[in-house]
Amino acid sequence: MPTRKLEKVVSLKDIRVACRECSLIEICLPVGIGQSDLDRLDSIIDRKRPLPRGDHLFRIGDPFQCLYAVRSGSLKTYATSEDGQEQVMGFHLPGELIGLDAIAEGDHPLAAKALETTSICEIPFHDLESLGTQLPSLQHQLLRIMSKEIRDDEHNMVILGQKSAEERLASFLISLSNRFIRRGFSAHQFNLSMSRSDIGNYLGLALETVSRLFTRFQNEGLLRVDRKHIELIDRERLCVFSGARCSHGTPKQHSQHSQHRPSKDQ
Amino acid sequence: MPTRKLEKVVSLKDIRVACRECSLIEICLPVGIGQSDLDRLDSIIDRKRPLPRGDHLFRIGDPFQCLYAVRSGSLKTYATSEDGQEQVMGFHLPGELIGLDAIAEGDHPLAAKALETTSICEIPFHDLESLGTQLPSLQHQLLRIMSKEIRDDEHNMVILGQKSAEERLASFLISLSNRFIRRGFSAHQFNLSMSRSDIGNYLGLALETVSRLFTRFQNEGLLRVDRKHIELIDRERLCVFSGARCSHGTPKQHSQHSQHRPSKDQ
DNA sequence: TGACGTCATTGATGCAGGTCAATTGTATAT
DNA sequence: ATATACAATTGACCTGCATCAATGACGTCA
Position A17 scores a pLDDT of 63
Question: With a 7 Å cutoff on the CB, does A85 touch strand D?
Answer: no
Taking residues A8-31, what's their average pLDDT? 60
Q: pLDDT tens across A60-114, in order?
A: 999 999 999 999 899 999 999 877 789 999 999 998 999 999 999 999 999 999 9
Q: Which of the four pLDDT bands, split at 50, 70 and 90, describes residue A25?
A: confident
How far apart, in whole angstroms, are the C-alpha atoms of residue B48 and residue B54? 16
B262 touching A (Cβ < 8 Å): no
Query: In this complex, is the C-beta atom of A134 within 8 Å of any C-beta atom belonging to chain B?
Result: no
Averages of pLDDT over runs of 10 residues in chain B (266 residues) are 44 56 70 75 82 94 95 94 87 94 96 94 92 88 93 94 94 95 90 96 96 96 93 94 65 34 31
- Interchain CB contact of B156 with A (< 8 Å): yes
Query: Chain B neighbours among A 63-122 (CB < 8 Å)?
Result: 79, 81-83, 85, 87, 89, 100-105, 109-110
SS (H, E, C) chain B: CCCECCCCCCCCCCCCCCHHHCCCHHHHCCCCCCHHHHHHHHHHCEECCCECCCCEEECCCCECCEEEEEEECCEEEEEECCCCCEEEEEEECCCCEECHHHCCCCECCCEEEECCCEEEEEEEHHHHHHHHHHCHHHHHHHHHHHHHHHHHHHHHHHHHHHCCHHHHHHHHHHHHHHHHHHCCECCCEEECCCCHHHHHHHHCCCHHHHHHHHHHHHHCCCEEEECCEEEECCHHHHHHHHCCCCCCCCCCCCCCCCCCCCCCCC
Q: Which of B67, B68, B70 is nearest to B23 (CA)?
A: B70
Which residue among B139, B160, B202 sits closest to A133, beta carbon to beta carbon?
Answer: B139
A175 CB-near residues (< 8 Å, 6+ apart): none
One-letter amino acid at A2 equals P
Which member of A109, A136, A150 has the closest CB to residue B101? A150
Looking at residue A106, its pLDDT comes to 94
Predicted pLDDT at B17: 63
The pLDDT assigned to B83 comes to: 76
What is the predicted pLDDT for the residue at A49? 82
Decide: helix, strand or coil at residue A66: strand
Q: Which amino acid is at A227?
A: R
Q: In what order do the strands lie in the sheet with B111-114?
A: B56-58, B111-114, B75-80, B86-92
Considering only residues A136 and A4, tell me which one the structure prediction assigns the higher pLDDT. Answer: A136
Cβ separation A146–B150 shorter than 8 A: yes
Contact across the interface for A157 and B158, Cβ inside 8 Å: no
Strand C nucleotides within a 7 Å radius of protein CB atoms: 7-12, 16-21, 26
Model pLDDT, residue A256 = 33
CB-nearest partner of B157 from A82, A142, A160: A160
Enumerate the β-bridge partners of residue A87.
A79
Contact B161 A81 (CB under 8 A): no
DSSP A196: H
Distance in angstroms (rounded) separating the CA atoms of residues B255 and B217:
23
Across the interface, whether the CB atoms of A162 and B245 are under 8 A apart is answered: no
Answer for the pair B234, B188: CB distance below 8 angstroms, yes or no.
Answer: no
Tell me whether A205 touches chain B (CB under 8 Å): no
pLDDT number for residue B247:
53
CA distance A13 to chain B (A): 35
Is the pLDDT at A211 greater than 90? The verdict is yes
- Rg of the Cα trace of chain A? 19
User: Taking a C-beta distance cutoff of 8 angstroms, is the pair B124, B44 a contact?
Assistant: yes
Q: Which of A178-187, A199-208, B13-22, B115-124 is least confident?
A: B13-22
Predicted confidence at residue B237, as pLDDT, reads: 94
User: What string of H, E and C letters represents the secondary structure of A212-238?
Assistant: HHHHHHHHCCCEEEECCEEEECCHHHH
CB contact under 8 A, B243 and A158: no
pLDDT of residue A46: 79
Residue B253, number of CB atoms within 10 A of its CB: 8
Residues in chain B within 8 Å Cβ distance of A151: 101, 104-105, 109
Q: What is the pLDDT of residue A9?
A: 41
Cβ contact, residue pair B83, A260, below 8 Å: yes
- Find the closest chain B residue to A168 by CA distance: B161
Residue A22: the pLDDT is: 74
Provide the CA A90 distance to its chain's centre, in angstroms: 7
Most confident residue range from A127-131, A208-212, B130-134: A208-212
Chain A residues near residue B103 by CB distance under 8 angstroms: 143-144, 146-147
* D strand bases under 7 Å from protein CB: 7-12, 16-21, 26
Specify which residues B224 forms β-bridges with: B231
Q: In chain B, what residues touch A201 (CB-CB under 8 Å)?
A: 161-162
Whole-number Å distance, CA A194 to C1' D17?
22
Higher pLDDT, B246 or A243: A243
Which residues does nucleic strand C approach, with CB less than 7 A? A 195-197, 207-208, 210-212, 214-215, 225, 227-228; B 164-166, 200, 204-206, 208-209, 227
Average pLDDT of chain A is 83
pLDDT at A16: 57
pTM confidence score: 0.86
Q: Does A16 touch chain B (CB under 8 A)?
A: no
B88: nearest CA partner in chain A? A158
Q: Does B26 touch chain A (CB under 8 A)?
A: no
Domains of chain A with bracketed CATH: 19-147 (2.60.120.10), 157-258 (1.10.10.10)
Q: Which nucleotide is nearest to A226 (CA to C1')?
A: C8
- pLDDT on residue A115: 96
Chain B positions touching A202 (Cβ under 8 A) are 161
For the beta carbon of residue B111, count every other beta carbon within 10 angstroms.
Answer: 20
Best of A146, A248, A256 to disrupt the B interface (most B CBs within 10 Å) is A146
CB within 8 Å: B129 and A146: no
